[in-house]
Structure 1
Amino acid sequence: MTTERVNPPTTERVNPPELSPPTGFSHAVVATGSRVLFLAGQTALDTDGKITGSTLPEQFEKALGNLLTALRAAGGTPADLARVTVYATDVAAYRDHSRRLGGIWKELAGRDYPAMAVVEVVRLWDEEAMVELDGFAVLP
């Protein structure tokens, strides 16, 4: 027996022309679906619990990869992400690397940007961590 979903989940990106054009994020995301997935903060930890990467782009790539691993393990895809918050210990450095970080995002997660925010923090749980990402997704 197969079941067909009458109203499949959707994620719609909303970018009003009255706002500044978004670069690397969406102003709003309207999501409908049957499950909401909350993703814990992910840093550049490897499987041994050690921070990897000595640069912000290296750590961002690992942290995003870890977030996407958790997302996929729960049955989601990058297009299901509705919200991601980036916590950085140095927002000026984050801005300086924004072009490279955007390239990493596109390579790993594609061009379906969730609603996003970047927040500067004094430090993260692991002192060596420069960046942490958390978020939520709407899954089918």
Structure 2
Amino acid sequence: MSLERINPAELSPPTGFSHAVTATGSRLVLLAGQTALDGAGRVVGEDLPAQFATALGNLLAALKAAGGAPGDLARVTVYAADVADYRAHAPELGRIWRRLAGRDYPAMAVIGVVRLWDEAALVELDGLAVLD
């Protein structure tokens, strides 16, 4: 599997994402949206950073179960119930990402939503990975 992160000089410098990612591999893994649900199905974490860490951990656990690793992520979409809160916590969320997933960023988008499936959920992440 090979991912190439592309960040053209004429675009604004990416912070916490890549502008484009090309992927070569033989297995596509589509990762369902993950929130901060624990093993019993309860939303855990009182604030966005705590929920983001759990949701990202859940996404990475699903990826690992499929045979992948964080570096295999080609695309991640973040659904935030409060984009202003997400922006306010962006530096902390970046530190959480680097701690759990490393410094290679996939193509990403943050989308503001009215609410998520679980009313207590503040954030949801889904993704796409390419494996050998």
Q: Which TM-score band (shorter chain)?
A: over 0.9
Give secondary structure in 2 for the equivalent of 1:116: strand
Shift of 1:60: 0.1
Give secondary structure in 1 for the equivalent of 2:30: strand
Query: 1:95-118: per-residue Cα shift (whole Å, max 9, x none)?
Result: 000000000000000011000000
1:72 and 2:64 matched:
yes
Shift of 1:50: 0.1
Q: Which amino acid aligns with 1:99?
A: P
Give secondary structure in 2 for the equivalent of 1:45: coil
TM score, norm. by length of structure 1: 0.94
Q: Which amino acid aligns with 1:95?
A: R
Counterparts of 1:37-116 in structure 2 under 5 Å? 37-116=29-108
Give secondary structure in 2 for the equivalent of 1:69: helix
Give secondary structure in 2 for the equivalent of 1:38: strand
Q: Which amino acid aligns with 2:93?
A: L
What stretches of structure 1 move > 3 A for 4+ residues in a row? none
Question: How many residues are treated as equivalent by the alignment?
Answer: 132
Shift of 1:37: 0.2
2:16 paired residue number: 24
1:4 paired residue number: none
1:5 paired residue number: none
Larger Rg: 1
Which residue of the other structure, out of 97, 121, 124, is the alignment partner of 2:116?
124
Counterpart Cα distance in 2 of 1:46 and 1:112: 26
Counterpart Cα distance in 1 of 2:57 and 2:46: 16
1:15 paired residue number: 7
TM score, norm. by length of structure 2: 1.00
Contiguous gaps of at least 5 residues in structure 2: none
Contiguous gaps of at least 5 residues in structure 1: 1-8
